[in-house]
Structure 1
Amino acid sequence: MKINKIAIILTSVIAMSCTGDFEDMNKDPMAVSEVSPKLILPVMMNSGYHLVAGDYQRATTLYSALYCQYFANTANYFTSDSYMFNTAWAERGLWSAYYGNVIRGMREVAASLENHPEYTDMYQIMRINTAIMTIRMTDIFGDIPYTKAGYGETQNPYDAQKDIYYDVFNELTDAVAILKEARQNQLQYGDEDMIYQGNVEKWIKLANSVRLRAALRISFIDPNKAKAEGEAALKESLIASNEDNAAVTIPMPNTWYNPLIEAGGWNEFRASKTLVNILQQQSSVTDPRLELMLSQTEAYVKGEDRTVPRFQGVPNGLSTADVSLKQYNNEHNSGIWGYMWGFKWNSLAPDPTASLPNTHEVCPPLSVMNYSEVCFLKAEAALRNWAGAGNAKDNYENGIKASFADMRTLAPEGSYTSDNDNTYITTGNVKWNETDDFETKLEKIITQKWLGIYPNADEAWAECRRTGYPILNPVVLSLDPNINPANGEFIKKLRYVDNELTNNKENAENPALNGGKGDGLNVRVWWDTARYK
């Protein structure tokens, strides 16, 4: 593999431990008055997509991956699965990453465009990245500082989530229009762009697809705006196959890297019981993706206890005492070491690199948006009768098929069979029935989207809250007194971090935030119309 400056930067970052400090590395590129986007984009992607395993853990596996019930906690020193908020994790993994490197980087390059028109196309790609990351931030926290953020001030007013979404639509639309102009004398990204290596056409497809994603996100709260933006997106080029999938490929010298794989190797979570059950129970046959996504239980593989199922998940929100029980330990429950990651097959080997096929130079990239999701977006758009969406059934089934193909891309030869693909799609709760009502069809679409975008937990959690699907299991224990799982209640968002409450107190504690609901784990964001408790 070619060793380049991006590989060198990321090697130094990844070498740090999960509690190591990497902020100093991110300061230098931003310290000068003008700097090339080629230096800023890798820092933006590193922070915004959480490419260091410790930060991926703090931003995703300890929050959204638990709350969408892909994973469940198995470490008795973590309590976020039971809705205990940790401000240090949220600040470093999410808040500081976004405000310190993403939005700040955008402002830096924007200020230099007048003197450097050759940066124009590269800046549009940064705008698209920022839009993706902004949507995620506001989906997680609700109202956040936005229009005034990134200019070096700490006393920033908060923007309403509705206004943020409206601006993101403008950003995506404008970025696509400028990229389509195909102006001359433009500098281009190479490996600095860890998703498409500067391929403008693919960035246009991604931007339009994200616009459709955002349109459907607001479809219950703002249907007219949603339809207008969605239909406009559907007129444009979208991600059209797995070849267009947006995923962060992390170039490392002579090795591979994926932050989720590394975080999984720390043995602090296992598959959620919800995920395993849905994979096993949706159709008349087991989901063909089960062995692609998850590993067999170690106890079963070793034959130590044949009463343990081959695949088993952990309930979400166990108490620290229950986590220590034998039936919930790592050996008795499925990890993420399925075939989709390129592993030949393993029983949760401590060193997952030992199981990688030798022909693979890199680990599977970190997904941002895939073709399967776009199919399901179009299926829901068709269900809503949006122009240009096509046929709901065809889009729905194409989404499942695209997911099968995507998850098999790196699966070793002989590790899977497609014999049950058609049976899975055409039987049980998966089968599409034209006579079903809107709600039944929507549940099918979102449940399959939840599976098809795995392990994109931020998006999965947002969709669970937007639609109420798939139907999740209430956590066993809530440590937030305002959330009662016995009444079927779930966490709604993350609260603002302590440093913000200290340094931007007047704005962060404004009682008018989030539609007058203020802040808290039990506060719904703007587009959350209470389709779940």
Structure 2
Amino acid sequence: MKNINKFLILFLAGIFTVSCEDNLDINTDPNFPEEINAGLALTSAEGALASVVGGEFMNIGGFYAQYHTQSPSASQFENIDSYNLNTTYANTPWTILYAGVLNDLKFVSAESTEAGDTATLLIAEVLRGYTFHYLVDLFGDVPYTEALQNGNITPVVTPGEEIYADIITKIDAAVAAYEANPVEAEVGDQDVIFDGDMDKWIQFANTLKLRMYIRMAYTPQADPAAVTALINEGNFITEDVKFDLYTSSANKRNPFYEVFLSQTGLGDVNHIASNTLAGFYNQNNDPRLEAVFRPGTGGTYASIDQGTGNDFNNTAVAYARPNIGPVTPVFLMTVSESNFLQAEALIRYSGGTGAKEKYDAGVTASFATYSEYFGLTGESAADYIGAGDVYEYQTGGTVEGTVRQVIIQKWAALAYVNNIEAYIEATRTKFPEVVETGTQDYAEGNRIPSAISILPGTTIPSILFYPDDEVTRNPNITQHSTLTQKVWWDQKPE
């Protein structure tokens, strides 16, 4: 955690340097308007959000989605791999998201409202919704209606379903306000995600809403009409949503690389390929194997079953390891995911009409992302999704069986792109299934219980403990009794 804090502080200091005048005093509180403008606060919020999604969430999501496992001869993350997290685990990401990201966005919203800047207000509202929906997805009910109020250090928690509904309402209101009075975003290129391009922000808003509606698919709050309206409008992202303001300089590099892989961090000794993902790629002759992972000794892509590192004596360099470099972007959402969301929506709510095209587009976009940012070479997606090919879309099955195809490909497409999203979607859909060790079919996409799991049977965590720091000082938060409690949308019959 100290490495994470060091990275965040120094990286954001770098952002301040490139985003503001040379005479800006960055040692002042970034939430006082006399010392900072909305653009700088927005840049800070975007960078801090990326540091969590691309850092600690990338780490834990990779273990739970079973992209990587703890290497032999190291033990830094055995607590995660064994599902034995303690209540202090989330202290740092929770603090960054609330005290950093959301507090900065509150300032941006206030400044933009006062200035009549409907564009920047919309940007802040989308990022606010994105941040809160992940807090709900990972922690369940969280402080929301009373969060960030001056003087209130014991905010009550709001039920997750109410937070989801309010996020969508506020995004819709911000879009409507902008469309009624479209102005040029004052933040300009201090918005380092889309450079203030509001067409792209509206597309991102729509795609985020689609993600949230699909999260509700197994709940009474599922809204086929709202989903269908979004699908019919068709105004979704056309480029990957990413934060890429990274350089090769220490403490300004990709957060996962900086903290977990670099020699100034933990040194690339902990994360090696899990058979769960590597086996899927290998057995399907999928070239994404060599984009997602770096080879081990001798150029091979060796991997092991989840949680079996203690059964071996090799060091991490003998195995395939995550292929994230100093300047690899942090992806908040991709065109591939957008297409898979649309495919699932069409399967669930439109009888499957058009789903094949969106499924194929999702696989194609995944190959494109890995080609542009991870060095994928070789066959194209077209070699895998055609008639008779290994990833050919199959029609005529049950809704869940057809959805499974989409989710397995989404899982294969999110590796080191957005690991936490892969874990959350696996929790929602139960795909890839967690099956007893020895019965798995890696070619089809199965997870197994970690060999060092402290949980019974095929159970894996479905929620994170609230941070101990927060529970200790806020009597309105009651700690989860177990990591197997469910967040509000986790209602698929099992």
Q: Into which bin does the TM-score normalised by the smaller protein fall?
A: 0.7 to 0.9
Instruction: Determine whether 1:379 maps to 2:326.
Output: no
CA contact (8 A) 2:295 2:301 kept: yes
C-alpha spacing 1:441/1:100, structure 2 compared with 1 (3 Å): same
Note the residue ranges of structure 2 that are not aligned, 5 or more in a row.
1-7, 16-24, 434-446
Letter in 1 for 2:256: L
Per-residue deviation, residues 346-365 of structure 1 (Å, max 9, x unmatched): xxxxxx67xxxxxxxxx232
Question: 1:390 Cα shift?
Answer: 5.3
Q: Which residue of 1 aligns with 2:444?
A: none
1:368 aligns to what SS in structure 2? strand
Cα contact 2:193–2:243 (8 A) shared by 1: yes
Query: Secondary structure at the residue paired with 2:180?
Result: coil
Q: 1: CA distance between counterparts of 2:33 and 2:407?
A: 46
Change beyond 3 A, Cα 1:461–1:436: same
The 5-angstrom pairing of residues 126-275 of structure 1 reads 126-152=124-150, 153-184=152-183, 186-222=184-220, 225-241=222-238, 244-250=239-245, 252=247, 257-262=253-258, 263-265=260-262, 266-267=267-268, 268-275=270-277
Change (3 A) 1:509 1:87: closer
Is the 8 Å Cα contact of residues 296 and 334 (structure 1) preserved in structure 2? yes
**Are 2:30 and 1:68 equivalent residues in the alignment?**
no
- Which residue does 1:336 correspond to in 2? 322
Q: Where in structure 1 do 4 or more consecutive aligned residues deviate above 6 Å?
A: 24-27, 253-256
Deviation at 1:10, TM superposition (A): 3.0
AA of the residue aligned to 1:509: T
Determine if contact 1:189/1:198 at 8 Å carries over to the other structure. Answer: yes
Distance 2:111 2:419 in 1: 35
Shift of 1:172: 2.0
Residue by residue, what CA displacement relative to the aligned partner does 1:310-339 show, whole Å, maximum 9, x if unpaired? 222233334xxx437225x312321123xx
Separation in 1, partners of 2:458, 2:329: 36
Match for residue 316 of structure 1 among 306, 309, 312 = 306
Please state how far the C-alpha of 1:519 moved relative to its aligned partner: 4.3
Aligned to 1:430: 391
**Structure 1 pair 115/9, CA: closer, same or farther in 2 (3 Å)?**
farther
Q: Give the match for residue 408 of structure 1.
A: 371
The structure 2 residue matched to 1:441, chosen from 384, 398, 402, is 402
Q: Aligned to 1:430, what secondary structure does the other structure show?
A: coil
Amino acid in the other structure paired with 2:255:
P
AA aligned opposite 2:406? I
Report the counterpart of residue 48 of structure 1 in structure 2.
49
- Whether 1:394 aligns to 2:357 is yes
In 1, Cα distance between equivalents of 2:397 and 2:65: 26
Residues of 1 paired with 2:162 and 2:12: CA distance? 38
Write the letter of the residue equivalent to 1:257: R
Equivalent positions of 1:95-134 (< 5 A) are 95-113=94-112, 115-117=114-116, 119-134=117-132
* Paired residue type of 2:165: Y
> Match for 1:45: what amino acid?
E
What do residues 357-399 of structure 1 show as CA deviations (whole Å, max 9, x unaligned)? xxxxxx2321111111111111111101249x85111111111
Q: CA deviation at 1:490?
A: 0.9
Q: What SS class does the counterpart of residue 394 from structure 1 fall into?
A: helix
Q: Give the secondary-structure state (helix, strand or coil) at the position aligned to 1:326.
A: coil
User: Any conservation in 2 of the 1:272–1:313 contact (CA below 8 Å)?
Assistant: yes
Q: 1:473 aligns with which of 448, 452, 460?
A: 448
Deviations 1:12-61 (CA, angstroms, capped at 9, x unpaired) = 469xxxxxxxxx9686111347852212112211222216xxx9543431
Gaps of 5+ in 1: 1-6, 15-23, 302-309, 342-351, 354-362, 511-517
Matched residue of 1:312: which SS? coil
Give, in whole Å, the separation in 2 of the partners of 1:452 and 1:425.
18
Within-5 A mapping of 1:27-46: 28-32=29-33, 35-46=36-47
Tell me, yes or no, if the aligned pair for 1:466 and 1:531 is still in contact at 8 Å.
no
Amino acid across the alignment from 1:503: R
Letter in 1 for 2:490: D
Q: Distance in 2 between matches of 1:420 and 1:198?
A: 32
The answer on whether the counterparts of 2:347 and 2:353 sit within 8 Å (CA) in structure 1 is no
Q: Alpha-carbon deviation of 1:297?
A: 2.1
- The one-letter amino acid paired with 1:135 is H
Higher mean alpha-carbon deviation, 199-208 vs 67-76, is at: 67-76
Q: CA deviation at 1:144?
A: 0.4
Structure 1 pair 114/411, CA: closer, same or farther in 2 (3 Å)?
A: closer
The reply on whether 1:528 has 2:476 as its aligned counterpart is no
**Distance in 2 of aligned mates of 1:114 and 1:221:** 35
Aligned equivalents of 2:132, 2:27: Cα separation in 1: 19
Query: Which residue is equivalent to 2:3?
Result: none
Contact 2:383 2:389 in 1 (8 A): no
In the alignment, the residues of structure 2 paired with residue 70 and residue 161 of structure 1 have an alpha-carbon distance, to the nearest angstrom, of 28
* Count of aligned pairs: 454
Structure 2 distance, partners of 1:149, 1:419, is: 47
- For residues 11 and 112 of structure 1, do their structure 2 counterparts lie closer, same or farther at Cα, with a shift above 3 Å needed? closer
CA contact (8 A) 2:102 2:131 kept: no
CA gap 1:296/1:60 in 2 versus in 1, 3 angstroms: closer
Question: How has the CA–CA distance of structure 1 residues 114 and 394 changed in structure 2, closer, same or farther, with 3 Å as cutoff?
Answer: closer
Q: Is the 8 A contact 1:76 1:324 kept in 2?
A: no
Deviations 1:188-226 (A, max 9, x none): 323321211111100000100111111000111135x43
Q: How far apart, in 2, do the equivalents of 1:501 and 1:116 lie?
A: 37
Q: What RMSD in Å do the two structures reach over aligned CA positions? A: 3.0
Is residue 379–residue 391 contact of structure 1 (8 Å, CA) maintained in 2?
Answer: yes
Using a 3 Å threshold, how does the CA distance of structure 1 residues 528 and 179 change in structure 2: closer, same or farther? same
Deviation at 1:453, TM superposition (A): 2.6
Task: Please report how far the alpha carbon of residue 423 of structure 1 lies from its aligned counterpart in structure 2 after TM superposition.
Answer: 4.0
In structure 1, C-alpha distance between the alignment counterparts of 2:55 and 2:127, rounded to whole Å: 21
User: Could you tell me how far apart the structure 1 residues matched to 2:414 and 2:311 are?
Assistant: 31
Deviates more, 1:425-434 or 1:522-531: 425-434
- Distance in 2 between the 1:233 and 1:419 partners? 30
Mapped contact 1:311–1:333 kept (Cα < 8 A): yes
Q: Compare relative contact order (CA 8 Å, sep 6+) and give the higher one, 1 or 2.
A: 2
1:509 alignment partner in structure 2: 478
Which amino acid in the other structure matches residue 253 of structure 2? Y
Distance 2:246 2:254 in 1: 10
